[in-house]
Amino acid sequence: MKRFFYTLMLIGAVSFVFADDSSVRAQGIARGVEPAVIRDAELERESLHNLQVARHYFRLKKAYKAALLRCEEIIAGNPTFTRVDEALYLAGMSSVRLAENKGKQRTDVAADKLRDDARSYLTRVSTEFPDSEFRKPAEDELRALGTPPAATKQAAKSDVQ
């Protein structure tokens, strides 16, 4: 009887290990489904912290240079960040404010260069993130800078080709 029981257990264990039915292995990897973007949790956490600090610098302290540096760190270090659209928008708006000599900090970068950088950041928000809540404000700011969104989209398309 003992021998029969052990044999039955062995057969059950072997059939469980070699079973290919997906209902048997609930914790397996999903087949045929690839994640669109693989994100590093620690890098996401660090980028979110930098974004929160950049928001604080931009909105409360009017330290646009510090906000711009934080946003540029996010954009360069984590281009797949879930909130990169907001980082691009804040970078663009910080560049605009620095070009206008607003805020508590000054920079030695020329105003024309800052405006060009702002156009670049805001154009990316407008073209790469059509569903973003920052798209419309970015397009409005592009119009104020003298670059309508349609012209920037054409320029972005010609750069890609």
For the segment 78-104, what is each residue's pLDDT rounded down to a tens digit?
999 999 999 999 999 999 999 999 999
- Give the pLDDT score at 20: 56
- Number of domains, the chain: 1
For the segment 50-75, what is each residue's pLDDT rounded down to a tens digit?
999 999 999 999 999 999 999 999 99
Tell me the whole-structure pTM to 2 decimals.
0.70
CA distance 118 to 97: 9
Domain that holds residue 93: 40-160
* Residue 14 forms part of a structural domain: no
* Residue 78 forms part of a structural domain: yes
Contact between 63 and 103 under an 8 Å Cβ cutoff? The reply is: yes
Question: In which band, very low, low, confident or very high, does the pLDDT at 37 lie, cut at 50, 70 and 90?
Answer: confident
Q: Which residue has the higher pLDDT, 161 or 13?
A: 13
User: Which contacts qualify for 34-43: CB closer than 8 Å, 24 or more apart?
Assistant: 37/80, 39/80, 39/81, 39/82, 43/77, 43/78, 43/81
CA distance 60 to 53: 10
* Residue 101 forms part of a structural domain: yes
* Residue 48 forms part of a structural domain: yes
* Residue 112 forms part of a structural domain: yes
* Residue 148 forms part of a structural domain: yes
* Residue 151 forms part of a structural domain: yes
CATH number for the domain including 130?
Answer: 1.25.40.10
CA distance 39 to 55: 22
- Give the pLDDT score at 39: 84
* Residue 89 forms part of a structural domain: yes
- The number of beta carbons lying within 10 Å of the beta carbon of residue 84 is 21
Is the pLDDT score of 15 beyond 90? no
For the segment 108-159, what is each residue's pLDDT rounded down to a tens digit?
999 999 999 999 999 999 999 999 999 999 999 999 998 655 444 555 554 4
Q: Which two tokens stand for residue 152?
A: 């920037």
Is the pLDDT score of 77 beyond 50? yes
